[in-house]
Amino acid sequence: MMTDLTQPIELQFPPSIRFGTDALANLPTWVAEKGYEKPFVVADAVNAKRLALLGLGEVGCFGDVVPEPDIPNLKTAVQAAEGADLIIGFGGGSAMDLAKLVAVMVGQSLELSEISGPHRAPPRMVGLVQVPTTAGTGSEVGTRALVTDPETQSKVATESRHMLADLSIIDPMLTMSVPPFVTAATGVDAMAHCVEAFTSKRSHPIIDEYARQGIALVGRFLKRAVENGDDAEARVGLALAAFYGGVCLGPVNTTAGHATSYPLGTRHKLPHGIANALMFPHVLAANAAAVPEKTAIICEALGFATGSAEDIRAGAKAFCAALGLDMRLRAHGVPEDDLGNMADEAHAIRRLLDWNPVDLSRYDIFSLYTNAW
């Protein structure tokens, strides 16, 4: 209903977003115009070997970002960045999340516990640029970052407008070398951002349109990119889908899909993308009765018919399996005897579950894991 537009909403974007083929070529000019002299790159091991693509010559780099970064990983990155005047996140969501936190912490003698949660981080003393190399998280346009606390094995969320990049460069050509498995998993993650925002209790008509476009792009292009990584049109479509997913995260955010995926990462070290893919069909089916019209739109965009909850689960699993993903938790090293602990942990993530269209009990979540196992 159009009257839903009366709901207040705030959208925040980086002041500059550059999207398209070879957009990265503009980075050196921007850095020079802004007067930055000591850029520092936060990257994973793969992208630390591709620094020449940034066109900045010799730059400092923390190249040890791990797939599920934890607080020690963050502390090491902050120490390495000392003296920088510009932080550049170069990689997937983990690298960009760490870059956000490094940017607000460097030179300020802060612990994560002093800035975690909403709106506690101080203004940055350095610039921040985000350059995604996967089409998945949308972190390049967001204000949130997640790292794992190894003591509790739970994710610590930090949100602040000060973690919004000054410049986001989305160059789909950087994703051409991403292997099929990672392409599939990160593509489903991008779709999950859109789907969960679309079906959330706090969904909004403005965000719904970004979400619908993102879901449609994944339905159209993800299988093509998995089957042929050199398909430039498919890579561009997925980069745009990830961007739309990132926009959805800002004012609306995710729900049960991400809440149930987090223990897979924190407890069993599954990469975020595959964790989301494994839970996606089960959460979509569990929520279907509460949001039937939107579920039908999602199913149509992904190429399968709606129907009963079991039909929807089967259709979504088939969509993911067709991308080459083994959709069984046990195939990814998740032990059956930990499903109960995972359900406890996921059920406690109220910041996401309270907005799910269905109130999922701890037993409901345990059943989702059992079905996925």
Rounded CA-CA distance 232/12 in Å is 29
State yes or no: pLDDT of 142 exceeds 50: yes
Stretch among 61-65, 149-153, 287-291 having the lowest mean pLDDT:
149-153
- Model confidence pLDDT, tens digit, residues 11-46: 999 999 999 999 999 999 999 999 999 999 999 999
Q: Which residues of 200-225 are buried (b: 16+ CB within 10 A; e: fewer)?
A: beebbebbbebbbbbbbbbbbbbbeb
Supply the pLDDT for residue 3.
Answer: 57
- Judge if pTM exceeds 0.75: yes
Residue pair 31/85 in contact by the 8 Å Cβ criterion: no
- Model confidence pLDDT, tens digit, residues 205-243: 999 999 999 999 999 999 999 999 999 999 999 999 999
Q: Which of 347, 344, 329, 157 is nearest to 253 (CA)?
A: 157
Q: CA torsion 334→362→71→142, rounded to 10°?
A: 100
Mean per-residue pLDDT for 157-166?
Answer: 96
State yes or no: pLDDT of 93 exceeds 70: yes
Supply the pLDDT for residue 4.
Answer: 78
Rounded CA-CA distance 299/289 in Å is 13
Mean pLDDT of the chain: 95
Q: Which residues on adjacent β-strands are paired with residue 9? A: none
Residue 67 — pLDDT band, cuts 50, 70, 90? confident
Rounded CA-CA distance 73/244 in Å is 29
Rounded CA-CA distance 257/286 in Å is 10
